[in-house]
Amino acid sequence: MLTFKNFNIADWFSFYRIFAAPFLLALIWFDLRLIFTWLILISYSTDAIDGYLARKLKITSPRGSQLDSFGDQITLIVGLTGLLYFENDFIKENLILILIAFVPYIIQMLIAYFKYGKATAFHTYLAKLSAVFQSLFILWSLFFTPEYILFFIMIVIGLLETFEEITLIYMYDNWASDVKGIYWALRDKRRLKK
């Protein structure tokens, strides 16, 4: 049985992101852009903190990895919702490109759910880089105005990361967490064959 004492400090940062989501959505509803932007910045910051703490304190676990991924997805959805609401004209102007990037992500999620029964939690280097550019673009857009160079970099890295995730899903018969990337997955498979 899982109880709150079974969770470590890194998990609590993931919980923060999950529990903050409804409050952030309420700030969007009440059109409080500046407060929303500062609080979404805090949520994005906790994403960097929880992973660092888990590795530093050697408290990584598959459950924590999955919790972190769920917190990441919730925060991304809330950030994109804020961007959609506060920068609606930019979203409308770039909807085709956004869909080109978003549809493969949905496909990747569906493949993972059909194969593993849950979302992936590979946490590859490319996924981390993609998360940095997503949060950077969203925060820049909310604090200032959307910047096209950040937008295009975010789209390209996001697509590369999605295709890497799909490849890794087909490489791993069973759900795995904390895979650094395709190169490391291939190296691990070669080592297991020896």
* Rg from Cα positions in the chain: 17
Q: Residue 119 CB: number of other CB atoms within 10 A? A: 17
Q: How far is CA 98 from CA 31, 91, 102, 148, in A?
A: 23, 8, 6, 12
Alpha-helix runs per DSSP H in the chain:
9-29, 33-56, 62-86, 88-93, 95-116, 125-143, 148-171, 182-193
Q: Which residues pair with 170 in a beta bridge?
A: none
What lies within 8 Å, CB to CB, of 66 at 6+ separation is 118, 119, 121, 177
Q: What is the count of structural domains for the chain?
A: 1
pLDDT on residue 177 = 87
Establish if 92 belongs to a structural domain: yes
Question: Looking at the chain, how many residues does it have?
Answer: 194
DSSP class of residue 144 equals: S
pLDDT tens-digit map of 111-164? 999 999 999 999 999 999 999 999 999 999 999 999 999 999 999 999 999 999
Establish if 189 belongs to a structural domain: yes
pLDDT on residue 5 = 56
Burial class (CB in 10 A: 0-12, 13-18, 19+), 64: buried
pLDDT on residue 137 = 97
Establish if 148 belongs to a structural domain: yes
CB half-sphere exposure, 44, CA atoms < 13 A:
23
Whole-angstrom distance, CA of residue 194 vs CA of residue 181: 21
What pTM was estimated for this model as a whole? 0.89
pLDDT tens-digit map of 29-76? 999 999 999 999 999 999 888 877 777 887 777 778 888 889 999 999
Establish if 147 belongs to a structural domain: yes
Establish if 1 belongs to a structural domain: no
**Domain assignment of residue 159, given as a range:** 8-193
Establish if 112 belongs to a structural domain: yes
Establish if 3 belongs to a structural domain: no
Establish if 114 belongs to a structural domain: yes
